[in-house]
């Protein structure tokens, strides 16, 4: 076997196929195949928009790198494959080339510096404090539901967050037990809720509507069914909602027996109904339960059947939920359901 040798590399890198520019990602958001209420490429609030802008930039740069390097690889794999009519001689042995090594060190360094600067700017923008006029909400993550408190407005609710449109909302994140993560992709990136480690994030949704999300940090058995619903409302609707939520529970003459059973069983150890002896803090506040569209952290519609099923055996809807099956008889079950249905 004969081998020829070539110490100074002559890599015909410049002859590589011309590179095409693909601004691929911008169409992602619009295409119907990708339609989703939780699409990160359909931002509707400043933090999500800043992230979206950076994402496009990063996607375009990495896309170009992929196309360039991928084409070179593909070219090498096709062009330099062994052919049937090859002689048995070894190809020229090339050991390296400092010039080429420097080139493919410096170019990535430049790309990294550019990406880093763009990223650092967005980090500073999103992590700055929320504006002064922000609405304050404290979110507490529980296994497996969300507690919302509006400290300035004296409102407590669960699982369905209401915020005004066009105004910043500062969200303080706490956890009552394990780690959770608050992620509504169209409004902002996720931030974790960690016990002993309060976090803050902010949103300023610019269009009214319902925004969905869910817990994004594994928190136990029912991590999957810890859904987030954020209702973005006009200022009037929001004020109306606050006013309605600030009232104590409606006098429940309609279902006195249900109320008696509710207050005489373990229900009140965990649940609160403002203005009654029920003052538990372990489970969701039920004062205005009927004002919510869903129960059990967004997994089931708030209707008679689901409510009844939930009280009878939460495990049927959400196995592993910390609410025990109360073992009520048929009569008591109907009475408690009827009572809860008066909590408007």
Partner 1 sequence: MSTEVITLPGTQTTVETSRRPLVDRLHEWVTTVDHKRLGLMYIVYALMFLLIGGVEATIMRIQLSAPHKDFVSPQVFNRMFTMHGTTMIFFVAMPLVFGLANYLVPLMIGARDMAFPRLNAFSFWLSAFGGILLYFSLIGANGLYGAGNAPDVGWFAYAPLTSHSFSVGHSTDFWILSLLVSGFGSIGTAINIIVTILCLRCPGMKLGKMPLFVWLNLVMAGLVILAVSPLSAAQIMLSIDRYLGGHFFDTQAGGSAVIWMHFFWVFGHPEVYVLVIPAFAVASEIIPVFSRKAIFGYPVMVAATVCIGFIGMSVWAHHMFTVGMSSNANTFFVLSTMAVAVPTGIKIFNWLATMWGGKIDFKTPMLFCAGFLFQFLAAGLTGIMLSAAPFDWQLGNSYFVVAHFHYVIVGGILFCLFAAFYYWYPKMSGRMYNETLGKLHFWLFLIGFHLTFDFMHIPGLLGMPRRIYTYEPGRGWDTWNLIVTIGVVFQAAGILVFAANLIWSYFRGRIAGNDPWDAWTLEWTTSSPPPEYNFAAIPSVKSRRPLWDLKHPEDPDWKYE
Q: Which of residues 20-59 bind partner 1 (CB under 8 A)?
A: 28, 34-41, 48, 50-51, 54-55, 58-59
Q: Looking at 60, 65, 167, 242, which residue binds partner 1 (CB under 8 A)?
A: 65
Query: By C-beta, is 24 or 254 nearer to partner 1?
Result: 24
Of 84-92, 132-140, 236-244, 269-277, the segment contacting partner 1 by CB under 8 A is 84-92
- Please report, as residue ranges, which positions from 210 to 229 form the binding site for partner 1 (by CB under 8 A): 212-225, 227
Taking CB under 8 A as the rule, does residue 84 contact partner 1? no
How many CB atoms are closer than 10 A to CB 124?
A: 9
In whole angstroms, the minimum distance from the beta carbon of 240 to partner 1 comes to 29
- Please report, as residue ranges, which positions from 101 to 120 form the binding site for partner 1 (by CB under 8 A): 101, 104-105, 108-109, 112, 115-116, 118-120
In whole angstroms, the minimum distance from the beta carbon of 318 to partner 1 comes to 9
Taking CB under 8 A as the rule, does residue 82 contact partner 1? yes
Taking the C-alpha atoms of residue 52 and residue 50, their distance in angstroms, rounded to an integer, is 5
* Exposed/middle/buried for residue 320 (C-beta within 10 Å: 0-12, 13-18, 19+): middle
In whole angstroms, the minimum distance from the beta carbon of 30 to partner 1 comes to 13
* Exposed/middle/buried for residue 238 (C-beta within 10 Å: 0-12, 13-18, 19+): buried
How many CB atoms are closer than 10 A to CB 344?
A: 13
In whole angstroms, the minimum distance from the beta carbon of 38 to partner 1 comes to 3
3-state secondary structure of 246: helix
In whole angstroms, the minimum distance from the beta carbon of 91 to partner 1 comes to 5
In whole angstroms, the minimum distance from the beta carbon of 172 to partner 1 comes to 11
Strand order in the sheet with 155-158: 155-158, 145-150, 135-142, 169-175, 199-203
- Two tokens at 255? 């279902």
Residues 225-264, mask of contacts with partner 1 (x by CB under 8 A): x-x-------------------------------------
- Two tokens at 148? 């919302």
3-state secondary structure of 51: helix
Taking the C-alpha atoms of residue 328 and residue 309, their distance in angstroms, rounded to an integer, is 11
- Please report, as residue ranges, which positions from 300 to 329 form the binding site for partner 1 (by CB under 8 A): 319-320
- Tracing tokens 């509504």 back to the chain, one arrives at 184
DSSP letter (8 states) at residue 84: T
Q: What angle do CA 85, 88, 89 make, to 5 degrees?
A: 120
Query: By C-beta, is 258 or 298 nearer to partner 1?
Result: 298
Peptide bond into 295 cis (omega under 30): no
Q: Looking at 44, 46, 126, 165, which residue binds partner 1 (CB under 8 A)?
A: 126
Query: By C-beta, is 125 or 265 nearer to partner 1?
Result: 125
In whole angstroms, the minimum distance from the beta carbon of 239 to partner 1 comes to 30
Judged by CB under 8 A, how many residues of this single chain contact partner 1? 98
Taking the C-alpha atoms of residue 287 and residue 309, their distance in angstroms, rounded to an integer, is 20
- Please report, as residue ranges, which positions from 159 to 198 form the binding site for partner 1 (by CB under 8 A): 173, 177-179, 181, 183, 185, 188-192, 194-197
In whole angstroms, the minimum distance from the beta carbon of 285 to partner 1 comes to 23
3-state secondary structure of 238: helix
Integer angstrom CA distances of residue 212 from 167, 312, 332: 19, 28, 35
Query: By C-beta, is 36 or 244 nearer to partner 1?
Result: 36
């Amino acid at each position: 076997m004969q081998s020829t040798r070539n110490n100074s590399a002559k890599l015909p890198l410049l002859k590589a196929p011309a590179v095409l520019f693909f601004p691929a990602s911008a169409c992602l958001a619009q295409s119907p195949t990708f339609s989703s209420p939780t699409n990160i490429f359909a931002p509707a609030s400043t933090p999500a928009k800043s992230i979206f802008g950076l994402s496009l930039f990063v996607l375009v740069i990495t896309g170009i790198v992929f196309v360039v390097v991928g084409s070179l690889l593909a070219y090498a794999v096709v062009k330099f494959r062994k052919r049937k009519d090859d002689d048995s001689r070894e190809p020229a042995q090339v050991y390296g080339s400092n010039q080429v090594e420097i080139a493919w060190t410096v170019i990535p360094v430049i790309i990294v510096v550019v990406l880093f600067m763009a990223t650092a700017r967005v980090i500073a923008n999103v992590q700055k404090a929320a504006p002064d006029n922000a609405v304050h909400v404290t979110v507490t993550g529980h296994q497996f539901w969300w507690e919302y408190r509006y400290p300035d407005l004296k409102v407590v609710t669960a699982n369905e967050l209401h915020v005004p449109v066009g105004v910043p909302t500062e969200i303080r994140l706490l956890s009552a037990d394990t780690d959770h993560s608050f992620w509504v992709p169209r409004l902002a990136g996720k931030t974790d809720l960690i016990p002993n480690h309060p976090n803050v994030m902010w949103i300023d949704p610019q269009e009214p509507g319902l925004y969905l999300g869910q817990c994004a940090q594994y928190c136990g058995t029912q991590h999957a069914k810890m859904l987030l619903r954020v209702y973005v409302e006009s200022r009037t609707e929001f004020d109306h909602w606050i006013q309605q939520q600030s009232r104590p529970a409606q006098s429940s003459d309609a279902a006195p027996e249900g109320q008696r059973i509710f207050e005489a069983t373990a229900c009140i150890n965990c649940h609160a109904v403002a203005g009654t002896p029920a003052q538990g803090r372990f489970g969701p506040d039920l004062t205005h339960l009927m004002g919510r569209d869903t129960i059990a952290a967004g997994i089931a519609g708030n209707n008679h059947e689901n409510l009844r099923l939930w009280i009878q055996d939460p495990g049927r809807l959400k196995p592993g939920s910390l609410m025990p099956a109360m073992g009520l008889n048929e009569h008591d079950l109907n009475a408690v359901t009827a009572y809860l249905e008066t909590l408007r």
